[in-house]
Amino acid sequence: MESEKSVEAVEPVGTRRPEIRIRDLHKSFGDNQVLRGIDLDIAQGEVVCVIGPSGSGKSTLLRCVNLLEEPTRGQVFVGGTEVTDPDVDIDAVRRRIGMVFQQFNLFPHLTVTENLTLPQRRVLKRDKARAAKAAAENLERVGLSEKAGAYPSSLSGGQQQRVAIARALAMGPRVMLFDEPTSALDPELVGDVLAVMRMLADEGMTMMVVTHEMAFAREVADRVVFMDGGVIVEDGTPERVIGDPAHERTRHFLSRLLDPARAQVEEERNQGLTGGSP
């Protein structure tokens, strides 16, 4: 059976309506200007990976989409609703946005199923049976049906992150935001989490992903956005931004990420040529 994403792919991304629109977004923490006028559209069903060095503003941008960080200036729209409107019902908007953090944020005293049903019952006011049904369906989606009665402490980090994804999916979001979802995992546990994210992409979920996983960005993203210094330096297909970046800042970042030993040797050579310390 064809997935939703493969069917939608007949329609070019540029012709689909934006699910997320960001206009002239600024964010400062005191004198530290973290975002400096970001403009970005993410179309319905599109997967956009945001990459860049630490401190470039990636996570702050992501958190501004659902107002976990309040922008200093600018506008954010999700599904046609202005999130940054002072009169917006932000709780209603957040019900349409699933978010997965670096840390799993599961309740340790609740079972896996209880972690999934609690937010449904409290936020969506679902009855116990409907919440349990949604929990079971989404645990199956992430391959963890057998862990329904387990407690988080008995799960690996990768399993806990997959539970966190299932919890977000059980709320029925239109958009999924991922903030470095694999950065806290041991390398051998990363693959299962990325496989779940690939599944969501194939199903046509709109996704904004802050990540250092370049293989995932190459394979799954429709677009890659490279940020540095609070601005978008490059925005294009993975083939262009990762495979053939136009800007030196992008090339430098990717060389350090993909081949750190070679990047270190080249830096040391350059320092020698310019009279720097050996």
The Cα diameter of the chain in Å comes to: 71
CB atoms within 10 A of CB 16: 15
Q: Tell me the C-alpha distance between 271 and 35, whole Å.
A: 31
Closest C-alpha to 23, from 68, 69, 55, 64: 64
Confidence (pLDDT) at 256 = 87
Contact 176, 193 (CB under 8 A): no
Confidence (pLDDT) at 10 = 37
Question: For each of the chain's 278 residues, which pLDDT tens digit applies?
Answer: 333 343 334 355 566 789 999 999 999 999 999 999 999 999 999 999 999 999 999 999 999 999 999 999 999 999 999 999 999 999 999 999 999 998 889 999 999 999 999 999 999 999 999 999 999 999 999 999 999 999 999 999 999 999 999 999 999 999 999 999 999 898 889 999 999 999 999 999 999 999 999 999 999 999 999 999 999 999 999 999 999 999 999 999 999 888 766 655 555 665 665 555 44
Confidence (pLDDT) at 16 = 77
Q: Tell me the C-alpha distance between 143 and 138, whole Å.
A: 9
Segment (H or E) for 123: helix 112-123
pTM of the entire predicted model: 0.87
DSSP-based three-state secondary structure for 79: coil
Confidence (pLDDT) at 264 = 59
